[in-house]
Amino acid sequence: MSRTAKLHPDGKTRCPWPGEDPFYIAYHDTEWGVPEYDDRALYEKLILDGFQAGLSWITILRKRENFRKAFDDFQPEKIARYTDKKVHALMNDAGIVRNRAKIEGTVASARSYLEIMEKGPGFSKFLWDFVDGKPKVNQFKTTASVPASTPVSIKISKELGARGFKFVGPTIVYAFMQATGMVNDHLVTCYCHATCGGKPRVPRLKAK
């Protein structure tokens, strides 16, 4: 795969990683790197990034609606009360990634999320405070320049882990920061680099 931005037939130059997949391109254009400040949406994306470990992101993206149905629309209040019976049912759900440790980690993370929400400062503020409340805009020209983790993602990873979150290693956290716009890692030649910070949140993408 090319490591530099690519000109598409629609006349727009994009990061190379979505390839020619229309669904992946839509995610790249409308969601990836757009600042997300909603507490619940941030929890959902953190969990999905944890499930992605060892897999490609497009695999998770195509299963996202299945995940949402299986996990009660990622409402932490419901997930925190999951029983062993519910975990067993999820392990039999072919629509999601059936990994017991990650499923149980989702429950543990929901309980940790609720604690941050109840005792302060709120999940969104907790996360965004690590970047002073605004996206860090990088100026990468090739994907080879983009790091797998950073000192900030290491710091967030340690803090989340200390609070009981699971599957929040520095690499997972950095992918999460990219997805939620805490960092703008669109290549400088990608048309989204200049625009994603000002984009409104978009309706949910559904897999085709």
Binding site, by residue number, is: 15, 28, 186, 190
- Evaluate whether residue 9 is within a structural domain: no
- Which CATH number characterizes residue 181's domain? 1.10.340.30
Give the phi and the psi of residue 169 in degrees, each rounded to 5.
Answer: -65, 165
The domain total for the chain is 1
- Evaluate whether residue 145 is within a structural domain: yes
pTM of the predicted protein model? 0.94
pLDDT tens sequence across 12-52? 999 999 999 999 999 999 999 999 999 999 999 999 999 99
- Evaluate whether residue 156 is within a structural domain: yes
Place of tokens 């619940």: 40
Q: In a 10 Å sphere around its CB, with 0-12 CB exposed, 13-18 middle and 19+ buried, how is residue 20 labelled?
A: exposed
- Evaluate whether residue 114 is within a structural domain: yes
H/E stretch holding 184:
strand 183-184
The residue segments making up the domain with residue 160 are 14-198
Given a contact cutoff of 8 angstroms between Cβ atoms, the answer to whether 30 and 199 are in contact is yes
Binding site for Zn(2+), by residue number, is: 15, 28, 186, 190
- Evaluate whether residue 90 is within a structural domain: yes
pLDDT tens sequence across 75-132? 999 999 999 999 999 999 999 999 999 999 999 999 999 999 999 899 999 999 999 9
